Amino acid sequence: MRLYNTLTRQQEPFEPLRDHTVRMYTCGLTVYARGHIGNFRTFVSVDVLRRALKYIGGWQMRHVMNFTDVDDKTIAGAEREGVGLREYTDRYIAAFREDAARLGIEPVEETPRATDPANLDAMATMIRQLEANGHTYTSDGSVYFKIASLPDYGKLARLDHDGMQAGARVDTDEYNKENARDFVLWKATKPGEPTWDCGVGPGRPGWHIECSAMALRLLGEAPIDIHTGGIDLVFPHHENEIAQSEGATGKPFSRFWIHTEHLLVDGQKMSKSLGNVYTLSDITERGFRVSALRYLLLSAHHRKQLNFTWTGMQQAEEALRRLIDCLDRLDTVTSNESHPEMVRAATAARAAFDEALSDDLNTAAGLAAMFDLVRIVNTAIDSRQIGRPDLKTVHHAFEHFDKVLGVISLRRAEDAQPPIPEAEIQAAIEARQAARRARQFAEADRIRDDMAARGVIFEDGPQGTRWKRK
């Protein structure tokens, strides 16, 4: 498997450093609001990376994805609503878990919160290590990282050292690349803010120290194998994570840095002022299913910008419908004759899929390989060139695709959940049948059309009427 490493700006062969286990850290959500589709582009991409490492690479996973539950935004949000920080962030952590499950994102091994006592202690320990190594200073009760003390500071973002403002401090958690300067590790207590005293003075952690400490506490000795996140985190967050971790341990922090590009909406950056910041609820309220969003988020390479449009969502729905219809058609195969060319086609499609995903997680090429097999299968069914002996290999190919992409099982799970209570659907089927027996065809059509408007399609067959989601 080859992965593009932001640190070196090139693709490199990847395998875990030890124990046949990939030790991976993902910067999770800052829980001051519900996650939007831009956030989930990154999390779905990371989920596919995780699955590819497991099901194509064959490695075990030790994966940590944190919740940032104390920073400028979470504190301001809790204060604005007049509730405690824990109560405020709990609701958004619960919302994230719900949305991630709806998107078919696999649960990871660890989901720490920054304010967990063990993590706060790890942050304080790292700060003391940095102090012992000459990388810090204190001012007005806050502890700062001295970027001039680390000669290779800026290597991830490729910062211009001449433009750095060593000695100039910044207290905010987020800032522009033009403002590379000494950053805060531990913020002195301010009136009304939550505070802890873990041995470096009363206060609370800066955003950057949280991830460094949690990664090494839960993944073990540096270097870890992979660190992931959105492209917007390269600077300052990931740059500062490197500085802290390497300043404290004297070892490289992460061997690979993998970043997902921005999601645009109708060609523009997402912005509350433009009204184009969409959540999963916004997607479903438009009549789309979450599986179509997952498909759309996988349709472009993770290192290329992806433009979200409602037309694109419709195309994703149609692609998934074509995929599921093909799989359903396999159930109609009755011939007992085997066709070796069908087995060869399925085997070749699986090999092409694995090659694509092993080439820096090329999901677009992987989807192309899967739909090549869809076309071949449909043609074979039409021409009766597929038999029951071939089905095991064909099914295994699609099962393998889905272990990595996660769209088929997600759509199947949605199909199993009717958009309205099943008792209502059954009552409508019976009422329609009664209307047809009474030759009240207009009423039968009205019932059918009403159910279609509510997301349920009736299909009449020799065994009677069955329903499926629209």
User: Residue 89: inside a domain, yes or no?
Assistant: yes
Q: pLDDT per residue over 87-107, tens digit each?
A: 999 999 999 999 999 999 999
Helical packing angle, 363-382 and 388-405, nearest 10°: 160
Q: What CATH number is given to the structural domain containing 367?
A: 1.10.730.10
More confident of the two residues 190 and 118: 118
Helix H or strand E segment including 443? helix 441-453
Residues 278 and 309 in one domain: yes
Q: pLDDT per residue over 317-376, tens digit each?
A: 999 999 999 999 999 999 999 999 999 999 999 999 999 999 999 999 999 999 999 999
User: Residue 314: inside a domain, yes or no?
Assistant: yes
Mean residue pLDDT of the chain comes to 95
In contact, 16 and 59? CB cutoff 8 Å: yes
User: Residue 265: inside a domain, yes or no?
Assistant: no
Residues 194 and 341 in one domain: no
Q: What angle do CA 446, 451, 457 make, to 5 degrees?
A: 110
Residues 55 and 115 in one domain: yes
**Cα separation, 301 vs 315, whole angstroms:** 17
pLDDT for residue 255: 98
Question: Which residues is 12 bridged to in the sheet?
Answer: 3
User: Residue 288: inside a domain, yes or no?
Assistant: yes
Residues 340 and 239 in one domain: no
pLDDT for residue 422: 86
Q: Which amino acid is at 315?
A: Q
Residues 426 and 362 in one domain: no
CA-based torsion, 49, 51, 57, 62: positive or negative: positive
* Helix (H/G/I), strand (E/B), else coil: 142: strand
Domain carrying residue 9:
2-260
User: Residue 266: inside a domain, yes or no?
Assistant: no
Residues 409 and 299 in one domain: yes
Q: What CATH number is given to the structural domain containing 20?
A: 3.40.50.620
User: Residue 293: inside a domain, yes or no?
Assistant: yes
Residues 77 and 50 in one domain: yes
Q: Residue 305 CB: number of other CB atoms within 10 A?
A: 14
Domain count, the chain: 3
Question: Which residues is 386 bridged to in the sheet?
Answer: none
Q: pLDDT per residue over 164-178, tens digit each?
A: 877 788 888 888 766
**Cα separation, 414 vs 420, whole angstroms:** 12
pLDDT for residue 162: 76
What is the helix, strand, coil percentage profile of the chain, to 5? 50, 20, 30
Q: pLDDT per residue over 389-400, tens digit each?
A: 999 999 999 999
For 262-286, what is the mean pLDDT?
93
pLDDT for residue 178: 67
Q: Residue 345 CB: number of other CB atoms within 10 A?
A: 23
> C-alpha dihedral over 69, 75, 78, 83, to 10 degrees?
90
For 50-66, what is the mean pLDDT?
98
For 417-436, what is the mean pLDDT?
90
Residues 219 and 136 in one domain: yes
User: pTM for this one?
Assistant: 0.91
**Final residue of a structural domain among 415, 436, 459:** 415
Residues 201 and 314 in one domain: no
Residues 73 and 201 in one domain: yes
For 46-71, what is the mean pLDDT?
98
Residues 358 and 298 in one domain: yes
Residues 316 and 434 in one domain: no
In contact, 11 and 18? CB cutoff 8 Å: no
Is it the case that residue 306 has pLDDT exceeding 80? yes
